[in-house]
Structure 1
Amino acid sequence: MIHLTEGDRMPEKLPVEFVWNPEFGRDPYAAYAALRKKGPVHPIEFPPGVEAFLVVDYEHGRRALNDPRLSKNPFEGPEAFRAILGQGNPVLAHNMLNSDPPDHTRLRRLVAKAFTPRRTESLRPRVQEITDRLIDAMAVKGHAELLDDFAFPLPITVICELLGVPVEDRDDFRRWSTALITPPFDDEQILLRVEANAAIRAYFLRTIAGRRAEPRDDMISALVLARDEEELLSEEELVSTLTLLLIAGHETTVNLIGNGMLALLSDPGQLRLLREQPELLPSAIEEFLRYEGPVERATFRFSTADMEIAGVHIPKRSLVHVSLGAADRDPGAFDDPDTLDITRADNRHVAFGHGIHFCLGAPLARLEAQVAFGTLLRRLPDIALGCPPDELSWRQDGSLIRGLRALPVRF
């Protein structure tokens, strides 16, 4: 682990392990702050043949998220990275998140209508029903592991119902999701990724075949129609899009709820304020997203030409990693950024990204979070941490996700 303090000389390159070890996971923001004092852009030590850079400030990070010179197409990346990506039939390689216009525009348009504010708001009664049922099951026990008992089953049930897949398969979905979003930098993880790729591809191909035979009123049937009759996407893009929707439809919300509840339960003043003024809930959600967002680092971007970011030379085909967590704790963009403030105004965080790849499911995540936090605080008014804070641990699997391993609570 690199220990950086003001006045230290920056190493030539950050070891790739810098961002996924237990010490970093406990408090990445202190490490990011130390890096930011050295400069906004830092090279990362990747395998030979791969140039990579980490952006840790708000100004250049936000700009990079919407820079057309930085491609989201992984096949624009270095050859060594493409070889890693190609391990085991990558089902996440051909969707809107990993494409540029015009393909990105075409693929995003196909699913955008399912996530409009009006369509999302129509889901509120169903989200409330699921939330109440989960809390009913917890309330009789007086304690819960909030991630497994509540934060995971809520969004996975919603996205399963939207797509049209059985929620009973959620344990498989969770296992596959974890394998697919964890970087395959060792043989064991490569094997898990290969197996997950094959399993989820087979699952969706079976489901697609079923919808072709018997269409239903769900998103899979709509996308199969767009594939077969309108020829708006390929079979590969169809499977990849469904995989992306399933993973993105629950991973971020799980950790928005977990991270936000930990932040709130760790700050009695803010917890009391939100209980006394529930009308602050929307701004509280935005502050949870900024303060301890569920996605620590944006997905890779790839430079399509030699370029500069903040005066740092970025060679063509380099990986550019924008730290959303670092940007949202940048004192150059936010007053007192390391303080949770649910009344914070003009909260222009980048927890959902920025630009054309801004999270399509942001309205649904916000709705689920508002219902989840509002109902938990109303129905369990004495909810509190169920263990000492120093017993909590953060996921440290190399993925982009910022989330707890578990969150015990009592009430």
Structure 2
Amino acid sequence: MTEGYQDSYSLRAPLRVHLEGAAGKQDPFSLFARLREAGPVIPLKLPFVGRVWATTTYAATDAMLKDNVLFVQEARHAGKTGVAGLSWWMPRAIKVLSNNMLLKDEPDHRRLRKLVDQAFRRRLVRDMRGEIEVLADRLLTKIEGQAEPDLVAAYARKLPIEVICLLLGLPDQNRDAFTGWASRMTSMLRGFSVLRVVFSMPGAVNYVRAQIEECRRHPREGLISELVRVEEDGDRLSEDELVSMVFLLLFAGFETTTHLITDSVIALEQNPEQKAYLFADLDARMERALEELGRYATPVQSTKPRYVARDCTFFGQKLARGDNIVGLLAGANYDPAVFADPDTLKLDRLPNPHLVFGTGIHFCLGMQLARVEAQVAIGRLYTRFPNLELAEPDKIPWITRFGLRGAYALPLRLNAVRSRKAA
């Protein structure tokens, strides 16, 4: 596929496209359709990263993600230094934490993934559904009776962080502090908020190191203890690898799930017929519906940058060794060559080979957890408040940030229909 693409074209100057803008978040289908029209591999200029190539179609994105020989994570395999997408001026602490398995090539990636997968198997994610339901109900009880609670702040953000703390086995009394660190770290690419991350990083890292040491001395339930214990063929995770892994699990299980939940609610409220279809038989339809909600919303619109390992022609475009390349997951998920009527929400869509969680060796580590969390979050929310509505459906405050589709806030009217009848 990389060499056999028949059409040849050449784009060198980065296209002028505002991928961070609110208009593109409101209507991502038109935005990514325009990018696909330009070609399957196009040049863009991204904030912080600079010039990159971007795959726009399903075929090109799928091929790029699955080719871990031609497209690599580590700079040294492409004649470069540093980490793709991280500028030279980024703080050393952030670079250290970014040195995790998602940014490793084989065989290091295989070694780390194998150890973590073993730990995950011991803490079966599917068995957490009941615990997640309890957490969701507890959060929903807190917002009951509020005039216009913010779905993001009160529920969609809190539930994933509660779940990841439960998964990791963090003490209840420390979760507020950990939630604060998580919020600051996931906002690091918004303007000058990187400075807040720098100041809070030492405390967060020291906290994680202390938790690792405590789990060594007094093993307890949770993934940190499992990662400390895990061993495969005499191999173990070093302390730095453990620290990096805990932060990776935080990122994988927090912000993306928050926006999957929020975007799904927005999609259901904007498509009332599909919402009615889902809740006519929630238990039977939720699993397939969540896959379509994920495809339709695609909260993570792009992969992180990778390096081109050698000069090549990829889907008709000439690439040079050391170039950066990203996969536009939204472009792939809205590609009409794979998905009929891609801009239409069809909760019974089958097959649905979306790339919401990526593919290839770097597919999302928290994929199953995110699925269970989102299914529970949406199901419990609408079971508790079946008449909820968006308080301001025409004023969704989209996050203006490349690679992410989500809202800063989403005020709800929980009992809108009953309230109107009473009036």
Distance in 1, matches of 2:167 and 2:219, equals 14
Distance in 2, matches of 1:378 and 1:47, equals 41
Per the alignment, do residues 205 and 141 of structure 1 end up closer, same or farther by CA in structure 2, a change over 3 Å counting?
Answer: same
**1:295-321 deviation per Cα after TM superposition (whole angstroms, max 9, x unaligned):** 111122111111222111111111111
SS in 2 for 1:285: helix
Alignment of 1:334 with 2:335, yes or no, is no
Candidates 384, 387, 396, aligned match of 1:379: 384
Q: What letter corresponds to residue 289 of structure 1 in structure 2?
A: G
- Contact (CA 8 Å) 1:91, 1:197: kept in 2 or not? no
Equivalent in the alignment of 2:42? 42
Shift of 1:196: 4.4
Per the alignment, do residues 301 and 138 of structure 1 end up closer, same or farther by CA in structure 2, a change over 3 Å counting?
Answer: same
- Taking structure 1 as the reference length, what is the TM-score of the superposition? 0.88
Per the alignment, do residues 157 and 291 of structure 1 end up closer, same or farther by CA in structure 2, a change over 3 Å counting?
Answer: same
Gaps of 5+ in 1: 1-8
Moved more, 125-134 or 90-99: 90-99
Moved more, 76-85 or 125-134: 76-85
Equivalent in the alignment of 1:165? 170
Distance in 1, matches of 2:200 and 2:309, equals 30
**1:303-322 aligned within 5 A:** 303-322=308-327
Distance in 2, matches of 1:309 and 1:85, equals 31
Distance in 2, matches of 1:409 and 1:46, equals 34
**1:133-189 deviation per Cα after TM superposition (whole angstroms, max 9, x unaligned):** 112222233542111111112121111011122455555545544554567597x34
Gaps of 5+ in 2: 1-9, 416-423
Equivalent in the alignment of 1:156? 161
Q: What letter corresponds to residue 314 of structure 1 in structure 2?
A: L
Per the alignment, do residues 390 and 47 of structure 1 end up closer, same or farther by CA in structure 2, a change over 3 Å counting?
Answer: closer
Shift of 1:225: 3.4
Shift of 1:193: 4.0
SS in 2 for 1:191: helix
- Taking structure 2 as the reference length, what is the TM-score of the superposition? 0.85
Equivalent residues, number: 399
Q: What letter corresponds to residue 325 of structure 2 in structure 1?
A: V
Equivalent in the alignment of 2:137? 132
Shift of 1:122: 1.1
Distance in 1, matches of 2:344 and 2:122, equals 30
**1:156-305 aligned within 5 A:** 156-166=161-171, 169-170=174-175, 172-177=177-182, 179-181=184-186, 188-226=192-230, 231-278=235-282, 279-305=284-310
**Aligned sequence identity (%):** 35
Equivalent in the alignment of 2:7? none
Per the alignment, do residues 289 and 184 of structure 1 end up closer, same or farther by CA in structure 2, a change over 3 Å counting?
Answer: closer
Per the alignment, do residues 204 and 303 of structure 1 end up closer, same or farther by CA in structure 2, a change over 3 Å counting?
Answer: same
Alignment of 1:88 with 2:89, yes or no, is no
What RMSD in Å do the two structures reach over aligned CA positions? 2.9
**1:267-308 deviation per Cα after TM superposition (whole angstroms, max 9, x unaligned):** 111111112122211111001110002211112211111122
Shift of 1:22: 3.3
Distance in 2, matches of 1:47 and 1:339, equals 30
- Contact (CA 8 Å) 2:303, 2:326: kept in 1 or not? yes
**1:14-93 aligned within 5 A:** 14=15, 18-45=18-45, 51-68=51-68, 69-73=70-74, 76=77, 78-79=80-81, 83-84=87-88, 87-89=91-93, 90-93=95-98
Equivalent in the alignment of 1:352? 357
Shift of 1:349: 0.2
Candidates 94, 103, 107, aligned match of 1:102: 107
Per the alignment, do residues 306 and 329 of structure 1 end up closer, same or farther by CA in structure 2, a change over 3 Å counting?
Answer: same
Equivalent in the alignment of 1:5? none
**1:357-368 aligned within 5 A:** 357-368=362-373
- Contact (CA 8 Å) 1:156, 1:167: kept in 2 or not? no
Shift of 1:199: 3.5
